[in-house]
Chains A and B, each alone.
Chain A
Amino acid sequence: MIDIDALVSDFRSRVRDVRLPSPAVVAEQARAGVKQGQHSWVWIATGGAAAAATVAGLAVIFVNAKPAPNSGEAQPVGKIAFGTPRVDWGMVATVKVVRDPGTASTMADVTASITSEARRLDIPGMRIKQTGSDELTLSVPAAEAINQVKAFLTIPRLRIVDARAVLATGSSPNDLIGPGQRALRNGTPVRYLMAAAGRPPTLSTRFAPSLAAARAEQRSWHDPENAFVLAVPRGVTAVQWQTGVDKKGVPSSAFALVRDEPFASGTDITGFTVKDGTFKVTVSGRARKRYAGRTEPVRVFGLWTAYGRQANPAQATGLGELDPATGVVTFHANFGYDGRTLNFADPNLGARLALQRVQRYGDVQVLIWPKGPAVPSPISNGGAMQTAEPISLDAGGTTVTLRVWFTGSNAVVQSLIDARTGRSNSASSTCHLGLGAPALGPSCASDVIGTDTVVVGRVRHDVARIDAGLASGARIRSRVANGWYMLAWTPPAEAPTSTGARTLSKRFELPTVTAYDKDGKVLARQTPPG
């Protein structure tokens, strides 16, 4: 006799329990999913909606839609990274998850990484939805251009490796070339890593299987001249972490090549405690299994948060001892984290995210611009297609006018025109508001008109006016229109130095800017026009 119920009950009974957030967190996410604009995310057939007009060739679009109140069918609700979006427009990116050979990353790892990155970059309201076995869609609020989304999808790797796995360390990626070359001479199979020279140095976390593939990726970098290809022994990975900030505010980093040992991802870490200078990390049974029989201490690369400020996600935290029976890694050293929160939410990704396509959703209101008289673009970029009503502001004893041309790729051409001389200072740049849509974007063009400094940048659509000032009390003139701000001020005079020269520091002193909505309310999350 076959007892089907018993067999089904026993089926997959050894599969590990899924690690769930606390009920309070689940409840909060559920509420946020409903209250966020009172909508659900649904797929609908394209019907010539305006939001889709700029993207051709896609059969479906992602839109905001009010839920059908009495619909019996469960509506798909995307996983919300955190918070409520500041704007109701952005991009939906379809992403293919390409797992690294030999790694066991899961979709849960990937979504946890993306969530962590969304927090780090302050992109509240981002949603993640799995649409295939290796495919995700991400709705990224306030993303205006593909490049913004691409940058967001580069996520650092974090690893736990054993103590002997650190093969090389250095203050720049160049220091890693030597070990790589030695490995080549020894005949070790290699793969290739893109690294950037200059400061702050960065590493690509993407490994290429061949030199040709690495070269191809190098050409695609925004600054290929300052990128080089690093040969990395197969089975080795690179980690980077922030070691501090120099006097100029530039973060300094350290790098390490570490042996690509079996690792525990962030989702394998089930808990940690900090007490009296000792902290204990508990890893899951799956991770414990990888360390079965090992006696050496383990190294933890984790992410830590101090007083609500996110530090570099690849922070080396030190060596510890793993108790294979309990899965607890005990760190006896005092890491100076007293009173701070250790956060291991950012897992090792073990995969790269390949952007397949993007689709806009919502109306990008800041790009709605009253059309002005047709004026040829000052820069021959082959794509400028829209002229706009200019903004003017008095500066340097004349009137400075900002004209903007939009191109098909959503880049903009700005031109600051001096009315007295007719001189034009034009620049072609992607002047985006920024992911997460702060009230004020950083300045994306500046000029010196007479004795005055003029800067321009983007503002969120709900910004009605701004107040700006310098620490010295210098008066700042400002104008907000059409989703842009424009500031002009006369830098305060500065006494000559002992050599008779005048420093330029005052000219480039950044103003303090406060943005208000039409009701006079101060808008949160403001970025100074740096």
Chain B
Amino acid sequence: MGPPTDAELLAHADTSTTAFADLVERHQARLARYATRRLGPDQAADIVNETFAVAYAKRDRFDQKVADAGPWLLGIATNFIRRHARSETRMLRALAERGVDPAAPEITPRGMDRQVAAALARLRRQYRDVLFLHAVAGLSHDEIATALDVPVGTARGWLSRARTQAAAALQQQGITRTPSPEPEPKASES
């Protein structure tokens, strides 16, 4: 017998003292990484907490036939991130124009961060959502559709257009190919 599914953990969230905590443990890091990449670490903590609060409140609405709650949780987190859409755009523009990331001012941007920020800032909110859900959270088309509660075809189309528009924005900045990865900085620079 394997470990309980997410659906089982949610079903026992009321009767078990550890079930919901186990669910949090499974998905917390992934949600935090996704939220941090979008809004920075300070707001990410709040978004993660709020996501689990909503998940607990709406646990009865989770489809018991679905084993993995990851896309559902990422969808809730995306709803919260949308509340900060204008702030996210402002931060991306600041990073692109000034080279200082308001989401993480202590970090010196490297590589293509400034150019990518400029491209992301120009995307529609839905396109940013699907790009991050796919590239950072690792969701498939089907899972993105589940997370955003849209048809799979819509998710597929959004992701395609997001890539196209982002590539065009980068080309306008003179970027025509993905550069080789930079070597990791030495420990003393961290």
A15–B131 CB distance below 8 A: no
B131–A30 CB distance below 8 A: no
Closest to A32 in B: B53
Our pick among B24, B48, B53, B171 for the contact of A77 (Cβ within 8 Å) is B53
Please give, as numbers and ranges, the residues of chain A lying within 8 Å of B111 by CB-CB distance. Answer: 10
A20–B48 CB distance below 8 A: yes
Between A and B, 9 residue pairs with Cβ closer than 8 Å are A1-B177, A2-B167, A7-B116, A7-B178, A12-B104, A19-B45, A20-B28, A74-B76, A108-B45
A111 to B54, CA, bound (A): 20
Please give, as numbers and ranges, the residues of chain B lying within 8 Å of A133 by CB-CB distance. Answer: 87
B178–A3 CB distance below 8 A: yes
B32–A26 CB distance below 8 A: no
A133 to B94, CA, bound (A): 14
Closest to B91 in A: A133
Our pick among B37, B41, B56 for the contact of A34 (Cβ within 8 Å) is B56
Question: In A68-107, which residues have CB < 8 Å from any B CB?
Answer: 70, 72-77, 79, 104, 106-107
Please give, as numbers and ranges, the residues of chain A lying within 8 Å of B8 by CB-CB distance. Answer: none
Please give, as numbers and ranges, the residues of chain A lying within 8 Å of B83 by CB-CB distance. Answer: 76
Please give, as numbers and ranges, the residues of chain B lying within 8 Å of A1 by CB-CB distance. Answer: 177-178
B163–A18 CB distance below 8 A: no
State whether the Cβ of B35 lies closer than 8 Å to any Cβ in chain A: yes
Please give, as numbers and ranges, the residues of chain B lying within 8 Å of A18 by CB-CB distance. Answer: 32, 35-36, 41-42, 44-45, 48
Our pick among B32, B36, B52, B120 for the contact of A27 (Cβ within 8 Å) is B52
A11–B113 CB distance below 8 A: yes
CB distance from A158 to the nearest CB of B (A): 19
B118-157, CB under 8 A of A: which get 1 and which 0?
0010000000000110111000000000000100000000
Please give, as numbers and ranges, the residues of chain A lying within 8 Å of B162 by CB-CB distance. Answer: 4
State whether the Cβ of B69 lies closer than 8 Å to any Cβ in chain A: no
Please give, as numbers and ranges, the residues of chain A lying within 8 Å of B42 by CB-CB distance. Answer: 18, 106-108
B106–A23 CB distance below 8 A: no
State whether the Cβ of B190 lies closer than 8 Å to any Cβ in chain A: yes
CB distance from B25 to the nearest CB of A (A): 4
State whether the Cβ of A33 lies closer than 8 Å to any Cβ in chain B: yes
A2–B178 CB distance below 8 A: yes
A3 to B113, CA, bound (A): 14
State whether the Cβ of B65 lies closer than 8 Å to any Cβ in chain A: no
Our pick among A3, A4, A11, A70 for the contact of B37 (Cβ within 8 Å) is A11
Asked if A12 meets B103 with Cβ closer than 8 Å, knowing A2-B178, A20-B28, A24-B21, the reply is yes
B49–A29 CB distance below 8 A: yes
CB distance from A1 to the nearest CB of B (A): 6
Please give, as numbers and ranges, the residues of chain A lying within 8 Å of B178 by CB-CB distance. Answer: 1-3, 6-7
Asked if A104 meets B175 with Cβ closer than 8 Å, knowing A8-B131, A11-B113, A26-B21, the reply is no
Instruction: List 11 other contacts, CB 8 Å, given A10-B112, A29-B52.
Output: A9-B136, A13-B37, A15-B40, A16-B104, A19-B45, A21-B49, A24-B21, A30-B24, A30-B55, A33-B53, A40-B57
State whether the Cβ of B98 lies closer than 8 Å to any Cβ in chain A: no
Closest to B135 in A: A8
Closest to B52 in A: A30
CB distance from B130 to the nearest CB of A (A): 10
B45–A75 CB distance below 8 A: no
Question: In A1-59, which residues have CB < 8 Å from any B CB?
Answer: 1-21, 23-24, 26-27, 29-31, 33-34, 40
Closest to A33 in B: B53
Asked if A27 meets B24 with Cβ closer than 8 Å, knowing A34-B57, A77-B54, the reply is yes
A24 to B25, CA, bound (A): 8
Stretch at the interface among A284-292, A395-403, A405-413, A428-436: A284-292
CB distance from A524 to the nearest CB of B (A): 23
A5–B134 CB distance below 8 A: yes
A-B pairs with lowest CB-CB distance, top 7: A23-B24, A30-B56, A8-B135, A18-B41, A23-B25, A27-B21, A77-B53
A478 to B10, CA, bound (A): 51
State whether the Cβ of A189 lies closer than 8 Å to any Cβ in chain B: no
CB distance from B8 to the nearest CB of A (A): 16
State whether the Cβ of A67 lies closer than 8 Å to any Cβ in chain B: yes
Please give, as numbers and ranges, the residues of chain A lying within 8 Å of B112 by CB-CB distance. Answer: 7, 10-11
Asked if A30 meets B116 with Cβ closer than 8 Å, knowing A74-B80, A104-B105, the reply is no
CB distance from A10 to the nearest CB of B (A): 7
State whether the Cβ of B176 lies closer than 8 Å to any Cβ in chain A: yes
B41–A9 CB distance below 8 A: no
State whether the Cβ of A243 lies closer than 8 Å to any Cβ in chain B: no
CB distance from A39 to the nearest CB of B (A): 10
A286-320, CB under 8 A of B: which get 1 and which 0?
10110010000000000000000000000000000
Please give, as numbers and ranges, the residues of chain A lying within 8 Å of B20 by CB-CB distance. Answer: 27, 30-31
B181–A10 CB distance below 8 A: yes
A5 to B162, CA, bound (A): 10
B79–A73 CB distance below 8 A: yes
Closest to B102 in A: A133
CB distance from B118 to the nearest CB of A (A): 11
**Residue from B29, B49, B79, B120 with most neighbouring chain A CB atoms (10 Å):** B49
State whether the Cβ of A148 lies closer than 8 Å to any Cβ in chain B: no
A23–B22 CB distance below 8 A: yes
B79–A74 CB distance below 8 A: yes
State whether the Cβ of B188 lies closer than 8 Å to any Cβ in chain A: yes
A265 to B174, CA, bound (A): 41
State whether the Cβ of B46 lies closer than 8 Å to any Cβ in chain A: yes
B190–A285 CB distance below 8 A: yes
